[in-house]
């Protein structure tokens, strides 16, 4: 199964992708995580992506689309894939469709996780992430077992650079201007399901699995 998780910043895409990866024994492909990995390792891609990410803008398509194909082409074709954060505008969605068609493949399902702006701001303010394995927590809603420490790899948790309030507002604007249009794009293809993302992570997960 090839699945896209759509939704604004802080909707819970990463949280649900982790759960779905186990449920489908698939692979989680997050463009945000790939960029953060490159920034951490100071690669050429990381240097180019950093200023866009820090200001809440999208990284240009010419840096993003090839990167996704490099990743997808390296994965066994029979493996389930959970795409998180890609596509993020119409040209990325069309490039994905076209590339999959050339490979006799397609997207099976798009899950749109819907939450309003107020919820997003609260979630992102309380988010803590593991810079080592990428696992995401929330100080109130999804706390780690030991305060400030990753459950998975025991590394110290941090706050993301782009989680400052001003940047979050910019990310929400960018989502509304460039990404939200994908809801209609996939609705017209008959493969989109919208899930109420305000429920607890377990309830959201249950609703997603019911829809698959
Ligand atoms: P990216 O890393 O993709 O960030 P995002 O889409 O803004 O999404 P987030 O990671 O902020 O949120 P999420 O929906 O994954 O929520 P999470 O599960 O963490 O992108 C970052 C940047 O990279 C972009 O701004 C852009 O610059 C660049 N980029 C990435 N992809 C790109 C592309 N394709 N093209 C161009 N540029 C690209 O949850 C948030 C918090 O809420 C956590 O603390 C979590 O524990 C908590 N939480 C989750 N679910 C629930 C729930 N149901 N109830 C209560 N709390 C919850």
Q: Strand 27-30's sheet: what is its strand order? A: 27-30, 81-84, 2-6, 109-114, 192-196
Interval 88-99: pLDDT, tens: 999 999 999 999
pLDDT at 141: 85
Q: Is 144 in the pocket of ligand 1 (CB under 6 A)?
A: no
Could you identify the atom of ligand 1 that is nearest to the CA of residue 84? 3
Protein residue whose Cα sits closest to atom 54 of ligand 1: 200
Q: How confident is the model at residue 135 (pLDDT cuts 50, 70, 90)?
A: confident
Of 2, 36, 50, 127, which residue is the catalytic one? 127
Of 19, 88, 123, 128, which residue is the catalytic one? 88
Of 13, 19, 36, 123, which residue is the catalytic one? 13
Whether residue 171 is predicted with pLDDT greater than 90 in this model: the reply is yes
CB 82 within 8 A of CB 27: yes
Could you identify the atom of ligand 1 that is nearest to the CA of residue 203? 53
Does the annotation count 88 as an active-site position? yes
Does the annotation count 103 as an active-site position? no
- Residue 70's alpha-carbon distances to 61, 65, 66, in angstroms, are 14, 9, 6
Indicate the pTM of the whole model.
0.94
Question: Taking the chain, what is the end-to-end CA distance rounded to the nearest angstrom?
Answer: 10
* Cα 86 to Cα 108: distance, rounded to the nearest angstrom: 15
Show the tokens assigned to 30. 């997050």
Does the annotation count 13 as an active-site position? yes
Cis amide bond preceding 42, omega within 30: no
Q: How confident is the model at residue 165 (pLDDT cuts 50, 70, 90)?
A: confident
CA 106 to mean position of chain CA atoms = 19
Task: Tell me the mean pLDDT in the region 14-33.
Answer: 95
């Amino acid at each position: 199964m090839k699945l896209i998780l759509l939704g604004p910043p802080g909707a819970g895409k990463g949280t649900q992708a982790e759960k779905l990866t186990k449920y489908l024994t698939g692979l989680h492909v997050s463009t945000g995580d790939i960029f953060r990995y490159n920034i951490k390792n100071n690669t050429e891609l990381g240097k180019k992506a950093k200023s866009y990410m820090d200001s809440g803008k999208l990284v240009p398509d010419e840096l993003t689309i090839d990167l996704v194909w490099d990743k997808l082409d390296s994965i066994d074709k029979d493996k389930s894939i959970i795409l998180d954060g890609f596509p993020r505008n119409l040209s990325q969605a069309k490039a994905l469709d076209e590339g999959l068609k050339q490979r006799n493949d397609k997207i099976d399902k798009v899950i749109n996780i819907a939450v309003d702006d107020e919820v997003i701001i609260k979630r992102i303010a309380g988010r803590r992430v593991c810079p080592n394995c990428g696992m995401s927590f929330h100080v109130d809603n999804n706390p780690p077992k030991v305060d400030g420490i990753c459950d998975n790899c025991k590394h110290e948790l941090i706050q993301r650079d782009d989680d400052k309030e001003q940047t979050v507002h910019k990310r929400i604007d960018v989502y509304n201007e460039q990404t939200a249009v994908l809801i209609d794009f996939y609705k017209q293809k008959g493969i989109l399901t919208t899930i109420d993302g305000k429920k607890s992570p377990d309830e959201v997960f249950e609703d997603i699995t019911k829809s698959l």
